[in-house]
């Protein structure tokens, strides 16, 4: 399929979705994540969810009356979101409806809980970084595999690949700081500079109260604190500075005060927090063993369903920052594996052609570690398979914890994560993956589910 045909199909899908949610006047805002099209709506009663689910290409529907999330899958969702934005721009919302929508949106904003707002901020900071983190991790992982297979680690080719793969992780605080400042209303470049303050090797020669500063201390948590503080400070300094000298005075004061506060307060505090977070999970796995692994893996799908899994992103990064290895990622990756096994059972047992088509379309990306199409399109709508998938994940998570499998970089889960596992533990990781596949399949097959009746048969029934 060429580019032109892809655009036409994406536009047709966007038009069908727009019609099923009540048309242009009912859509306040359109956005997307890696797999879902997110629509903020004016009137939830105008949504025809059954019609949306019947649209070819739609894998599932989830959300509240105010925000609808339509699962389309990776790649496709970006194309459809682009075409949806064009449709919304082509037919501006009438002013009366627009004013009412703005009022409704303002009320919804007030009703957001602090936890949802916090996780939304984290998502906005880290989600744009996922593609480069995954790409860097895959290059680093493939390089390790090549060395394991006999490539000379001192050769120019391998050394170049190491630089390409690991370069991002050395300077990741700069990227996180940039995104943090942008999210909190500060100058993004100053946020990047906040990352530089923390990782600059020159601070190792500085002592405060006889204690030398440690480059990188505080890690990702430190960057979030420093960049957030500098964004807050910049906004308040700007209010007091004449516009004629703002470009000189505001960033200078922000950097000067921010730097002093960073080294005297924020870096020490963030260092303690960073160590506490990592130690919490390490102790849980050390004392809980396979039971802790089972619990973490089994509970991850509900976290993904609610969006709370975004809160673990800084934890994954902090493990890599402090230990250069992450025992948590291989465990939670089993959640997707359990769901794959459960979905295969659904595929083999179901007589519903549409459901089987959804499973066939979502399984490939599920094997590659993107589980949302299977969650919202298959297991969650069916009910019991969602919980049997969690049970299957628990078996895989228990095995990963028992074998103490660790990843060396961040990336997607599923089969591709094998390239990011310590080279001496790849076989153990793949074994745990198979355990989760099999357990999810067997438990789902035994427990069963209510197979949806074909809609055509329903209409023809007397």
Nearest C-alpha neighbor of 337 from the set 423, 398, 282, 291? 398
HEC profile of 295-353: HHHHHHHHHHHHCHHHHHHHHHHHHHHHHCCECHHHHHCHHHHHHHHHHHHHHHHCCCH
Nearest to 26 by CA among 13, 43, 49: 43
Instruction: In whole angstroms, give the CA distance from residue 81 to residue 76.
Output: 9
Contact criterion met (CB below 8 Å) for 421 and 429 = yes
What distance in Å separates the CA atoms of residue 18 and residue 52, rounded to the nearest whole number? 9
Strands 36-41 and 27-32, by their bridges, are antiparallel
Give the CA-trace dihedral at 315, 272, 281, 200, to 10 degrees.
40
CA 100 → CA 38, 44, 80, distances in Å? 20, 14, 27
30 is catalytic: no
Q: Identify the active-site residue in 33, 240, 390, 434.
A: 33
* Residue 115 CB-half CA count within 13 A: 5
DSSP state of 216: T
Q: From the CB of residue 339, how many other CB atoms can be counted at a distance below 10 Å?
A: 34
Q: Are 420 and 411 in contact (CB under 8 A)?
A: yes
Residues noted as catalytic:
33
């Amino acid at each position: 399929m060429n580019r032109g045909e892809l655009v036409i199909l994406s536009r047709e899908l966007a038009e069908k979705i727009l019609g099923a949610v009540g048309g242009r006047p009912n859509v306040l805002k359109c956005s997307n994540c890696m797999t879902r099209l997110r629509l903020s709506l004016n009137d939830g009663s105008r949504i025809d969810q059954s019609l949306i689910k019947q649209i070819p290409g739609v894998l599932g529907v989830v959300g509240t009356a105010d925000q609808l999330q339509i699962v389309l899958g990776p790649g496709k969702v970006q194309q459809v979101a682009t075409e949806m934005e064009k449709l919304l721009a082509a037919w501006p919302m009438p002013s009366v409806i627009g004013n009412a929508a703005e009022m409704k949106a303002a009320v919804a904003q007030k009703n957001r809980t602090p936890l949802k707002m916090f996780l939304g901020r984290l998502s906005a900071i880290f989600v744009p970084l996922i593609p480069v983190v995954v790409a860097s991790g895959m290059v680093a992982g493939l390089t390790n595999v090549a060395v394991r297979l006999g490539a000379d680690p001192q050769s120019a080719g391998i050394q170049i690949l190491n630089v390409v793969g690991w370069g991002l992780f050395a300077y990741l605080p700069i990227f996180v700081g940039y995104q943090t400042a942008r999210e909190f209303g500060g100058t993004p470049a100053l946020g990047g500079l906040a990352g530089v303050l923390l990782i600059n090797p020159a601070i190792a020669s500085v002592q405060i109260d006889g204690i030398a500063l440690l480059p990188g201390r505080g890690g990702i948590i430190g960057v979030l604190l420093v960049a957030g503080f500098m964004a807050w400070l910049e906004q308040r300094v700007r209010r007091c500075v004449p516009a004629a000298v703002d470009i000189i005075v505001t960033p200078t004061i922000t950097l000067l005060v921010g730097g002093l506060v960073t080294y005297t307060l924020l870096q020490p505090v963030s260092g303690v927090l960073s160590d506490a977070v990592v130690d919490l999970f390490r102790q849980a796995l050390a004392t809980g063993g396979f039971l802790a692994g089972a619990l973490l893996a089994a509970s991850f799908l509900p976290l993904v369903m609610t969006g709370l899994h975004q809160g673990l992103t800084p934890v994954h990064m902090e493990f890599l920052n402090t230990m250069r290895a992450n025992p948590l990622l291989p465990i939670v990756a089993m959640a997707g594996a359990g769901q794959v096994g459960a979905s295969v059972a659904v595929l083999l047992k179901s007589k519903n052609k549409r459901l089987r088509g959804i499973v066939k379309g979502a399984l490939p990306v599920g094997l590659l570690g993107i589980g949302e199409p299977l969650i919202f399109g298959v297991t969650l709508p069916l009910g019991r398979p969602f919980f049997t998938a969690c049970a299957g994940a628990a078996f895989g998570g228990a095995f990963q914890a028992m074998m103490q499998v660790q990843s060396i970089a961040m990336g997607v889960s599923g089969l591709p994560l094998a390239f990011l596992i310590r080279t001496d533990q790849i076989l153990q990781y793949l074994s745990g993956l198979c355990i989760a596949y099999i357990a999810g399949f067997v438990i789902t097959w035994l427990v069963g589910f209510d197979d949806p009746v074909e809609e055509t048969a329903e209409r023809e029934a007397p």
